[in-house]
Chain A
Amino acid sequence: MRHLRFWFPVLALAVPLLLLVFLSGQFASAGVQRLVTEALIRLVFAVGLYIFVGNSGVVSFGHMAFAAIAAYATAWQTCCQMLKPITMSGLPAFLRDNTFPLLPAAITSVALAGLVAFLSGLILMRLSALGASISSLALLFILNVVYSNWESVTMGTSTIVGLPIYAKPWIVLGCAIAAIVIAYLFQVSRWGLALRATREDEVAAAACGISLYWTRLFAFTVSGLVAGLGGVLLAHFMGTVSITSFYLSLTFLIVAMLVVGGMRSLAGAVVGVTVISLVIDILRRAEAGLSIGSMQLSMPPGTQELILAGIMLLILIFRKDGIMGGREFQWRTLPDRGLSQGESSIGNQRAARSEFVSLEEPTAKRS
């Protein structure tokens, strides 16, 4: 029972995903299965980003850089042995002339993403929260510029084709569940607890002996590893790699998913991906056009982005902690959040009154 209680927040997320993949495999069309797989890859990205952003409170816009690094690394190792000497002649000989097995290629690619996250984190995590956020965006720009112009190695803005396509629904589901487990184990670990303390109050955390720098750096590295896993999956889902796939649109989509679901909980990340993926699919179909009898109705192009922005704004205005409100699915029944807030408010009122009395005491003694 103790284990079940401990793992319940993970099970509550993993079991519905498992059912979704099973049911779509049994009853849905290939198109729907593809949508589910795509959503699960986004889930890996969102959970990867959550590990750092959710626990530290520092928004990172640079995680797609780690995804791109891993995607290109797996492409260099697994694609088109015949074409590589021509299209990517600048690659080191061992990469240019060989093709590596898929699993070792995936592992080394993810490890490379983690290494780059660690190295960049050594600098970024020394900055304040806002500084780190802006610098992470700069990191994404730098990587984009470098990869877009490194023709002999990345093919510039052209697309690398011919990657083995193995990111099928069950494999991607396995990776998504692995990402959820990693994120959960991190957040309940001593590192996760310490990092959440820095998120709540940096000064008080320092007074408790917690290192802001090392806790953030550790989370940033783990987060980069999971983002790298997402990059590998996307590469082997599409069968192609292009630097434009790992840039601002995907970055903001994943951030939007976290905002909508709630950045401060793992459940929020998963719920956000689910909701936004569903909305995207509905809007995509609406943009493509619906036939009602003899009428052909379609929404103007760009409606999808507008509605997504609208949803994000509404969430930020009316429910800034997202749909999940920063809570996980727990084994016990609903928490007494409403009651607690009421009590807190009463406590604060009393505090304000009492503080006034206390501050007045020295003066009172004068009379």
Chain B
Amino acid sequence: MEKLPHQTLEAKDIHVVFGGLRALNGVNLTLSRGGILGLIGPNGAGKTTMVNVLSGFQRPNQGRVSLDGVDVSTLSPRKIAQAGIGRSFQSARLFRDMTVEENLTVAGLGIGLSKAAATEQARDILDWISYRNGYDRRCEALSYSDERRISIARALALQPSFALLDEPASGMNDRECEQLMEIIVNIPRRFGCGVMLIEHNMQVIMGVCERIHVLDGGKSLAEGTPEHVKKDPAVLRAYLGDKARANAVI
């Protein structure tokens, strides 16, 4: 499948069932190139399952995922990565016994770059995210926040049309979160891709997302601008419960 350019990533009527648990129940979601969409929801809402569906790691029981209208629901994760959907993982999942540079180079090789070009690209991206602890540092020796940043950088090394970032700020302190926000805000401009951000940290979500999609119990609860979502009664109920929602602010 041709890799670039793709303008929209669309998930339509996605259903995922694990045994008796309905993890996703008819979710519709559209991500545009150049935009930043936040995907939020309480624990167990189905956010990571949605990322797994979009990146090919979870095949939906019903519904389809399409890139510019072309169905990619049945493609393997590898083919989807090559088609232009990069992702990071909740637990970073770096290649721990390899260097930082090699981690990003692998992604470049995955989209067919030569080793020299992939290495050069890796250094460019590492410079761009202001990583200064040495290209040849092994990932097992990285600090937690560096692990998260390298995980994002590796997703970007796929030259994706869409980057799906799964809880990139988890475990970061306020200063690290601010640095991360600056990186995420600039991704669409620098890489020309759309970003979907899953995050529990509302400061990050409200700070960088143009639109927010809220999931709860596997269903779409609301979608709109941060201001709109903040005031949505259904969202407040999901996060805060009926009694507290009257005075609450997300």
User: Do A and B bind?
Assistant: yes
Q: Are A210 and B55 in contact (CB under 8 A)?
A: no
Interface membership of B82, Cβ < 8 A: yes
Residues of B within 8 A of A326 (CB): 97
Within 8 A of B (CB), among A82-124: none
Q: Contacts A206-B76, A208-B158 known; A193 to B173 CB distance under 8 Å?
A: no
B10 at the interface (CB under 8 A from A): no
Q: Are A210 and B171 in contact (CB under 8 A)?
A: no
Contact residues, B167-205 vs A (CB, 8 A): 167, 169-173, 200-202
A354 touching B144, Cβ below 8 Å: yes
What would 16 more interface pairs be, CB under 8 Å, given A207-B55, A340-B141? A190-B109, A190-B115, A196-B102, A197-B106, A201-B94, A204-B89, A208-B109, A209-B78, A209-B81, A209-B158, A264-B97, A339-B141, A340-B140, A354-B172, A361-B202, A366-B240
Q: Are A350 and B98 in contact (CB under 8 A)?
A: no
Residue contact A208 to B173, C-beta cutoff 8 Å: no
For residue A281, CB closer than 8 A to chain B, the reply is: no
- The one of B78, B140, B155, B169 in contact with A341, judged by C-beta atoms closer than 8 angstroms, is B140
Cβ of A208 and Cβ of B106 under 8 Å apart? yes
Q: Does B239 contact A (CB under 8 A)?
A: yes
Size bracket, chain A contacts: 35 or more
Interface residues in B, total, Cβ within 8 A: 57
Can you list 12 A-B contacts (CB < 8 A)?
A190-B109, A196-B98, A197-B103, A197-B106, A201-B94, A201-B96, A203-B89, A341-B141, A346-B143, A354-B171, A354-B172, A358-B200
Does A146 lie at the interface of the complex (its beta carbon under 8 Å from any beta carbon of B)? no
Instruction: Tell me, yes or no, whether A245 is within 8 Å of chain B by CB.
Output: no
Q: Which of A143-199 contact B (CB under 8 A)?
A: 189-190, 193-194, 196-197
B218 at the interface (CB under 8 A from A): no
Interface residues of B in 104-128 (CB under 8 A from A): 105-107, 109-111, 114-115, 118
Q: Is A127 an interface residue (CB 8 A)?
A: no
Is B60 among interface residues, defined by CB-CB distance under 8 A? Answer: no
List A contacts of B146 (CB < 8 A). Answer: 347
Contacts of B86 in A (CB 8 A): 207
Q: Which residue of B lies closest to A203 (CB)?
A: B93
**A299 interface residue (CB < 8 Å to B):** no
Q: Give the distance in Å from the alpha carbon of A347 to the alpha carbon of B144 in the complex.
A: 5
Contacts of A196 in B (CB 8 A): 95, 97-98, 102
Whether B115 and A193, one on each chain, are in contact in the complex, defined by CB atoms closer than 8 angstroms, is yes
Q: How far is the CB of B11 from chain A (nearest CB, A)?
A: 18
Task: Name the one of A347, A358, A365 contacting B169, with C-beta atoms under 8 angstroms.
Answer: A358
- Give the distance in Å from the alpha carbon of A206 to the alpha carbon of B141 in the complex: 23
Q: Which residues 330-354 of A have a CB within 8 angstroms of B?
A: 336, 339-341, 343-344, 346-348, 350-351, 354
Question: Are A194 and B106 neighbours in the complex by a CB distance under 8 Å?
Answer: yes
In the bound assembly, the distance between CA atoms of A210 and B87 in angstroms comes to: 14
Q: Which partner residue on chain B sits nearest A355 by CB separation?
A: B171
Residues on A with beta carbons closer than 8 Å to the beta carbon of B250: 365
Chain A's nearest CB lies how many Å from the CB of B157?
8
A330 and chain B: residue at smallest CB distance: B136
Known: A200-B96, A354-B173, A362-B239. A208 touches B154 (CB 8 A): yes
Cβ A347 vs Cβ B143 within 8 A = yes
Q: Does A313 contact B (CB under 8 A)?
A: no
**Interchain CB contact under 8 A, B171 and A358:** yes
CB neighbours (8 Å) of A336 from chain B are 141
Question: What's the minimum C-beta distance from B92 to chain A, rounded to whole angstroms?
Answer: 9
1/0 per position for B140-173, CB-CB distance to A under 8 A? 1111101100000011011000000001011111
A244 at the interface (CB under 8 A from B): no
B4 on interface, CB distance cutoff 8 Å: no
CB contacts (< 8 Å) of A351 on chain B: these are: 144, 147, 171
Let me know if B102 and A193 touch, CB within 8 A: yes
Do B144 and A350 touch (CB < 8 A)? Answer: yes
CB <8 Å contact, B147 and A340: no
A193 contacts across to B, CB distance below 8 A: 98, 102, 105-106, 109, 115
Is A207 touching B169 in the complex (CB atoms < 8 A)? no
Contact call A208/B81, Cβ cutoff below 8 A: yes
Given known pairs A340-B140, A350-B144, A362-B42, the reply for A200 and B78 (CB within 8 Å) is no
Q: A-B pairs with the 9 shortest C-beta distances?
A: A209-B110, A340-B141, A351-B144, A354-B171, A200-B95, A347-B143, A209-B81, A204-B93, A208-B107
Q: Is the CB–CB distance between B81 and A206 below 8 Å? A: yes
A366 close to B244 (CB less than 8 A): yes
> Which residue of B has the minimal Cβ distance to A350?
B144
In the bound complex, how far is the Cα of B103 from the Cα of A200, in angstroms? 10
Least distance between A336 CB and chain B CB atoms (Å): 8
The reply to whether the CB of A211 lies closer than 8 angstroms to some CB of chain B is yes
Q: Which residues from B are CB-within-8-Å of A13?
A: none
A4: Cβ under 8 A from any B Cβ: no
Q: Counting CB contacts under 8 A, is B241 at the interface?
A: yes
Determine whether the beta carbon of B98 is less than 8 Å from that of A197: yes
Give the nearest-CB partner of A358 in chain B. Answer: B170
B108 CB to nearest A CB, Å? 9
Q: Is the CB of B77 within 8 A of A207?
A: yes
Taking CB atoms, residues of chain B closer than 8 Å to A350 are 143-144, 171
Contact A206 B106 (CB under 8 A): no
* CB nearest neighbor in B for A212: B78
- In the assembled complex, the CB of B116 is this many whole angstroms from the nearest CB of chain A, namely 10
> How far is the CB of B196 from the nearest CB of chain A, in Å?
14
Asked if B143 and A343 make an inter-chain contact with CB atoms under 8 angstroms apart, the answer reads yes
Cβ-based interface call for A280 (8 A): no
